[in-house]
A and B are shown apart, each in its own frame.
Chain A
């Protein structure tokens, strides 16, 4: 169609019948392709599975973010969801699953137990899956709300697009300290 102008660049949008070319960097193109075609392997062990089901179901609908297809073979998967408590006996299995995945591979720790062991602070449980496999995203919560999981998935996509492999933690959308102060003031107002 027409031209979109701003001070720095001029962009011309092609119509359907026209042909043309665009320039980009190969890693940016690959990152863009990868971030919207995450094939996921759900490694689901515990109660966080309920939240994972609601997240992958129609209400929260992870398919919107290009992470629709579950693959129950790690060899076809890009993203390993570790959902739930991993006991010491499961740790070798998790490690082997991770090793079977083809590069590039990403790991998302879903919930507090997968992130750090949670309140299973004893002999039974792996204190965080990053003790055996490198982890890209930590989604805290016991279990995390689906919004937090969406934030985690978007954060992962952002990191894939930027080529960033450092671990990241999903931050709460509202600061509980500030929110608590607000609620307290509301409570005082009501009583006063």
Chain B
């Protein structure tokens, strides 16, 4: 059943379906970001497909994999009537994180509203045509987008200034109470430990 959806997509958008993949009943179509909203509208409105449930929308940052369109916006859809699902993806964004623009799906599924706000908050993907594109989890003063791979893992941006106390008292070290400490993984050492505090003098 669901494999037919990919065929319908190929027939309706020749050339704009960059890649398809089908395994264990899960179908994936990588589409051209230019037709992102048209593909979504077709999936929603075609009576043979009828994807009336918006399941999920998020993004993946492939910075360290060196993929050229850096972000992959992933959207999961389901049809309540037929019970089939599809995953559509679009690859956007330059190496430095700019140009990550894509059409909003909010006019098609109202439920996309907060998912797109979260995706904007975490990855900085800008959804064109979104009615209210603000941060949803982080506070407005927050700088940057924390789930981008180039965001330093330990960069705090306190909402209120921390108290002016130099350090914790003697029973506490920098790793106190942590089950695993601040481990260093060689591959991404520069990212994960860019702002890590210095260990105490032995």
**CB-defined contacts of A166 to chain B, threshold 8 Å:** 169
Number of interface residues of A (CB under 8 A): 27
Q: Which residues 85-111 of A have a CB within 8 angstroms of B?
A: 88-89, 91-92, 95
Q: Is the CB of A131 within 8 A of B177?
A: no
Q: Mark B159-186, 1 if CB is under 8 A from A, else 0.
A: 1101101001101100011111010000
Question: Is A146 close to B, CB under 8 A?
Answer: no
Chain B residue with the shortest CB-CB distance to A113: B177
Q: Which of A30-76 contact B (CB under 8 A)?
A: none
Please judge, given known A-B contacts A121-B154, A121-B182, A122-B153, whether A131 and B162 are in contact too, CB under 8 Å. yes
CA distance A7 to B162 in the complex (A): 54
List chain B residues, Cβ under 8 A from A133.
Answer: 163
A123–B169 touching, CB < 8 Å = no
Nearest A residue to B151, CB-CB = A123
Q: Are A119 and B157 CB-contacts (below 8 A) given A132-B163, A167-B169?
A: no
Q: A118-B177, A118-B178, A123-B151 are in contact. Are A134 and B163 (CB under 8 A)?
A: yes
Any chain B CB within 8 A of the CB of A157? Answer: no
Residues on B with C-beta less than 8 A from A95 are 160
CA distance A13 to B122 in the complex (A): 70
Enumerate chain A residues within 8 angstroms of B82, measured Cβ to Cβ: none
CB pair B163–A130 under 8 Å, yes or no, is yes
Whether a CB of chain A sits under 8 angstroms from the CB of B139 is yes
C-alpha spacing A133/B172, complex, angstroms: 17
Point out the residues of chain A lying under 8 angstroms from B142, CB to CB.
123
Q: Which residue of B lies closest to A131 (CB)?
A: B162
CB atoms of A116 and B178 under 8 A apart: yes
What are the residues of chain B within 8 A of A92 when measuring CB–CB? 159-160
A127 proximity list for chain B (CB < 8 A) = 156
A14 to B175, CA, bound (A): 55
- Given A118-B177, A119-B180, A89 and B156 touching (CB < 8 A)? no
Taking the closest CB of chain B, its distance from the CB of A86, in whole angstroms, is 11
B152 to chain A, nearest CB (A): 9
Bound form: Cα–Cα A128–B158 in Å = 12
Chain A residues positioned under 8 Å from B155 (CB to CB)? 123
Q: B146 touches which one: A123, A131, A169 (CB < 8 A)?
A: A123
A90 to chain B, nearest CB (A): 9
Q: B residues near A, CB below 8 A? A: 138-139, 142, 146, 151, 153-160, 162-163, 165, 168-169, 171-172, 176-180, 182
| Given contact pairs A91-B160, A121-B153, A123-B151, a sample of 4 additional A-B residue pairs in the complex whose CB atoms are under 8 Å apart | A91-B158, A122-B146, A126-B158, A128-B168
